[in-house]
Amino acid sequence: MRGSTTPHVLNGALDGHFGERAYTVQQYDPPRDHVPNVLMLVDAYLPGFKSGGPIRSTSSLVEAIGSDVAFRIITRDRDFGDVRPYSGVVADAWNRLGNADVYYASKSSMSFGSLRRQINRTPHDVLYLNSFFSFAFAIKPLILRRLKLIEQRPVLLAPRGQFSHEAIALKRLKKRLYLALGKVLAVYGEVTWQATSAHEVDDIRRMIGDEAKIVLVEVPRVKMNIETVKSSRPRKKAGVIRIALLGRVTRMKNVHFALDCLSHLDGDVLFDVFGPLEDDSYWMQCQAVVRSMPANIHVHYRGVVPYEDVLSVLGGYDLFFLPSKGENFGHAIIDAMVSGCPVLISNRTPWRNLHERGCGWDIPLEAPDQFRSILKLMLAMDETELAKISEKAREFGREQILRADVIARNRDLFLSFM
């Protein structure tokens, strides 16, 4: 790479259910002649974890095909909501992390000029943007490209669910204005759009138009040492249930809907919420609902769970409950099933027809009574009944993790830019 020799290296390793990643000193991987060189721009990356799904999607991609694709990543030098940078990371320099070279940009180095220089200095065959509304890592690069201030390389843009009806409804005016302005200025002309599900294809066409060039390639599953994953939950007793919700605590996750459904249950109910609090006003509304709930419903906020602990945490519950308004992938849903925890989710995720597989339920949000019926059914179950569903959930989760066809399609996507 021009202007760089040896990258800094993150100390330690991320060890656990998601696979061991060891960091050793090595020369910067120069541009390769026979593999795609991909420059990925993303708001957050490892070792961060508070942004949830987007980090999981990009890091699992790098882990899955990083031996066949040369990834270089530009991202922030700190996790979501953090004031301080990551410890062990050298900011404004290239760090070697697993299968990728990562440039952790400080706040002072994310100007138009700094970003322009870094993009132009980094050899790449394709510029890969992992957001549509990120000002620093999507809007700025598209503007620089439109003004021909960066090399005119192909652009692959993954909206990561940002075009769903529910996501667009949040800060609707601001998003609509940017979409309209972008079309007028043609900042996303000749962009290839990556959808990761059939419904996201429809979302992109609705927002961008029928002329949009779209490729449908699913997110590769995170590698896990699934043989070591075991359930840690107490034996299920009829009339007692332990329920978990894990995800960013936002309106999209529909936590208040979950609370309302639970408030109709008799018996002994424990509901634990895990994830970063991204919307303080929304969380205050949820807390108001909690204060009005019956005494038999015990609700606790348990904070943020590092990736390496997710499976062991979810393995301690009888049910994973996420009535989300929309999920582009839903990593936590698969995590729950891999850990043997059945799921109760909305039908606004890629995971459908779960009841037919005997591993959970996906129900329309327009039918809250159906959610309540399933919750009552789960509450009444004993260990014998739950064990059957738990094993089916584990089988389904493992099937998804081991899908080699998804990895092959991701590899072929980047090869198409050669």
pLDDT band at 167 (very low <50, low <70, confident <90, very high): confident
* Section 216-226 average pLDDT: 77
Query: Which residues are CB-neighbours of 269 under 8 A, at least 6 positions away?
Result: 240, 241, 243, 262, 296, 297, 298, 379
Smallest Cα–Cα separation from 375: which of 294, 332, 320? 320
Write out the two tokens for 213: 């060039």
Provide the pLDDT for residue 173: 85
| Cα end-to-end distance, the chain, whole Å | 18
Domain locations in the chain as residue ranges: 8-221+403-415, 226-401
- Mean pLDDT over all residues of the chain? 88
Provide the pLDDT for residue 308: 83
- 165-169, 338-342, 395-399: least confident range: 165-169
Q: Tell me: the pLDDT tens digits for 37-69? A: 999 999 999 999 888 788 988 999 999 999 999
Cα separation values, 255 from 45, 159, 195, 279, 344, Å: 26, 24, 26, 12, 13
Q: Is the pTM of this model over 0.95?
A: no
Task: Tell me: pLDDT of 13 over 50.
Answer: no
The CATH classification number of 8-221+403-415 equals: 3.40.50.2000
> Please, is 67 exposed, middle or buried when counting C-beta atoms within 10 Å of its C-beta (0-12, 13-18, 19+)?
exposed
- 79-88, 127-136, 153-162: least confident range: 79-88
Measured in degrees and rounded to the nearest 5, phi and psi for residue 244 equal -125, 145
For the domain 226-401, what is the CATH superfamily, name and number?
Answer: Glycogen Phosphorylase B; (3.40.50.2000)
Q: Do domains 8-221+403-415 and 226-401 have the same CATH topology?
A: yes
